[in-house]
Amino acid sequence: MKRKASTLCAVLFLILAAAPQAQRAGGGAVTAIVGARLVDGTGAAAVNDSVILVSGDRITAAGPRARVQVPQGATVVNAAGKTAIPGLVDAHCHLNQPADVMRKLLPIALNWGVTTLRMTGNDKPEIMQVYYDAKAGKFPSPRVYTAGQGFNLTGPYPGAPTMKPTTPEEARKGVQAHKALRVDFIKLWMGDKGFTPEVVEAIVDEAKKQNIPVVAHIGNVAQVKQLAELGVTDFMHEARDGMNPEFIAYAKAKGLSFTPTLGQGQSRWYYYEHPEFLTMDPKFDGFYARGRTMLNDAERKKQIIGAPDFEQVKQRFKDNNYPFIKMMSDAGIRVITGTDCGAEASQTTPVGHTTHREVQMFVEAGMTPVNAIRAATLDAARVLERTEDPSYGSIQAGKIADIVLLGADPLADIHNTNKVDRVMRAGKWVE
């Protein structure tokens, strides 16, 4: 009898040990998101009726319900009828507003499912405290990267609050000053009458010494190649004169990536055509006060969307931008989302929604929906973290749990990314 009892206890012990538990080592309680269609950000085919397990700030498992067992005691979120995608990345922003406005705009981006923002220059030193507080979790915010002020001489936007060194020595001191502000990137604007080659080389070289990546605003192949030969791989905007086999081969060999910033271009008319975005729930209202004033100006609206050549203006925008995106992405060169929201030329580019609009334009340019989502998630994270295996950007085991539940399938209609139902940032639901 004792032997039978001992055997029974041993069997029960093994069963309990093998059973999935709602606690994970080092991770705490488990949340199970059950029943969603899973678009994991890798470009893989969607998984119907999925289970996503989250413990702490990490995804511990994701896949078909038949293969991922829900632990006993887990908090179950019924996501039937929803689609799960990774949090979106906007890799080109210039919010640069007063601190109180910034503390409003960053949570709005998060409400839209934009869980990562990169500020690409013009951030005055006094704004940096907002980013420090965001990184410390003092208020709801996406993950924020910043380039601080950046470097711009007489190139694009010479009046912007940037550093303007004229000698290599000044350039190095400028990079060191950025290092002291704990920037994540160095931003360099290239212009036809900009920095001398010696100053450019000093900026890039000092950034390497300080272990800070460089990102660059460019407009042509010559500027790209000048910087690529110094080791820069991350470029803002497009080199439209590079739509040829020679440059494509060069860009691929160098591992270059491009953030074309379609968002700010189309926002010059898009939100005049879609006034419904001006009456959204305040938690989704990412418009700047000045931009809202511009969009509510009836005469201005008439001049823009009532112009005789308005349809031609829209078509020229597509003709000027979409071929570059398709050609580069078809060649396997990374093209990622970045809207330029907040720039002086982009006052009608709202924070949050414009990132979705850019994903939609990538599809209009010829990407498949699943690849456009990858461009806005995993590929963008790869560029920002400078690794093929970033800590976020996809819904896979081991990744940070940045997850967006959508009310409809974006693979059926990419505009369904607008239908944000719920957002998780680093394992916590955004309330």
State how far the Cα of 210 lies from the Cα of 207, in Å rounded to an integer: 5
Q: What is the mean pLDDT of residues 193-215?
A: 95
pLDDT tens-digit series, residues 398-411: 999 999 999 999 99
Q: What is the DSSP letter of 427?
A: T
Task: Specify the amino acid at residue 202.
Answer: A
Angle at 292 between CA 287 and CA 295, to 5 degrees: 120
DSSP 358-397: HHHHHHHTT--HHHHHHHTTHHHHHHHHTSSS-SSSS-ST
State how far the Cα of 158 lies from the Cα of 344, in Å rounded to an integer: 12
DSSP 14-70: HHHHHS-BSEETTTEEEEEEESPEE--SSSPPPBSSEEEEEETTEEEEEEETTTSPP
For residue 251 the two structure tokens come to: 């860009």
Owner of token pair 């036809």: 192
Mean pLDDT over each residue of the chain, to the nearest integer: 91
- Report domain extents, the chain: 20-87+392-431, 88-389
Write down the architecture of domain 20-87+392-431 according to CATH: Roll (2.30)
Residue 223 CA, distance from chain mean position:
24
pLDDT tens-digit series, residues 271-322: 999 999 999 899 999 988 888 999 999 999 999 999 999 999 999 999 999 9
Window from 1-15, 191-205, 212-226, 258-272 with minimum mean pLDDT? 1-15
Residue 29: beta bridge partners?
Answer: 23
Cβ-contact 347, 294 below 8 angstroms: yes
88-389: what fold? TIM Barrel (3.20.20)
For residue 324 the two structure tokens come to: 């570059």
3-class secondary-structure state, position 124: coil
State how far the Cα of 417 lies from the Cα of 421, in Å rounded to an integer: 10
Tell me what pLDDT residue 191 has. 78
Tell me what pLDDT residue 89 has. 99
Q: What is the DSSP letter of 164?
A: -
Question: To the nearest whole percent, how much of the chain has pLDDT over 90?
Answer: 80
pLDDT tens-digit series, residues 209-257: 999 999 999 989 999 999 999 999 999 999 888 889 999 999 999 999 9
Do 20-87+392-431 and 88-389 have matching folds? no
